Structure 1
Amino acid sequence: MPKINSAMSAAELSVMHVIWAQGKIKSRELIDILQQSQTWSDSTIKTLLGRLVKKEILATLRNGKELIYIPTVDEAYITNQYTQDMFSQFCDHHKGEAITNLVQTSPLSQSDIKSMMAILMDRLSDAPAEIECHCLPEQCAHSHT
């Protein structure tokens, strides 16, 4: 799947959550759903949809006068890409701490936890005793030797 080059705003993500949940949706249905929880006008929602189409996150089909919106990428892909992009900006020394914090504060199913435990146990034997910092000395408080 191609890398999505344009980040989505919080508003665009709200629109996408509805579309991902529906699979595909007519513009009028989408507007009605979004206006139950947002104070957005029809034109605001149409602007957001236009941006998502331009970013190639949505595709459209015409059904008479009605547009049908279809996601071109799935939610898991976007979630993984955003996570990777965010973590690539962290100092390597802080990634484990950030992951630990997410595990402590995120709702997780037993299946999620078992999956994480299996991955961690598999990686344990190859993990270094300490993580090497790749930041420039001026970017990070860790000592560079």
Structure 2
Amino acid sequence: MKIFPKISESEWEVMKLIWKTNPLTSEQIINSLSDKMNWSTQTIKTFITRLIKKGAIGFEKSGRVYNYYPLISENECIKSENETFLKKVYDGALGILFTKFLEEKNLSNDEIEELENLLKNKKEKNSNKDN
């Protein structure tokens, strides 16, 4: 598995913005996040710099403007974070995670049906692999 950089909770906000729309200038990132997160311009610039150093985003310079874009995909990053969390908190036991989640979370009938369908499809795929 490819090793992904450890991205802080605050850096995730920058990444979500860049994943949604890219490339983005630092001005666009600052305008989008300064009010939403109540961060200063310098704080946002620090997060951008950290993400560049971590290899999560890249940039192209066009005159005096820097255009930032992701170097890692959102799906791959989420998968890596999920695996890290599962190992750290549940020793990799996915069943325990689901059991705890389902015991503590109120789900609508639609959500329950969606989970049932996901599990049914997963079971069918596993059955097809065995044949």
Q: Normalized against structure 2, the TM-score is what? A: 0.77
Pairwise CA RMSD: 3.0
Structure 2: 5+ residue stretches without partners:
none
Larger-Rg structure: 1
Deviation per residue, 1:48-94 (Å, 9 max, x gap)? 000000000000110111111100111111110011111123235x5
**Quick check: 1:68 aligned with 2:67?**
yes
* Other-structure match for 1:143: none
Deviation per residue, 1:77-115 (Å, 9 max, x gap)? 1110011111123235x5312124446748959777533
**Quick check: 1:58 aligned with 2:39?**
no
Cα gap change, 1:109 to 1:28, in 2 (>3 Å)? farther
- Distance in 2 (alpha carbons) for counterparts of 1:22 and 1:56: 18
Cα gap change, 1:18 to 1:113, in 2 (>3 Å)? farther
Could you say which structure has the higher helix fraction? 2
* Other-structure match for 2:48: 49
**Quick check: 1:3 aligned with 2:3?**
yes
Amino acid aligned to 1:61: E
Deviation per residue, 1:20-57 (Å, 9 max, x gap)? 11132111011100112022111111110000000000
Q: Normalized against structure 1, the TM-score is what? A: 0.71
Structure 1: 5+ residue stretches without partners:
125-145
* Other-structure match for 1:117: 120
How many residue pairs were aligned? Answer: 124
Identity within the alignment, %: 21
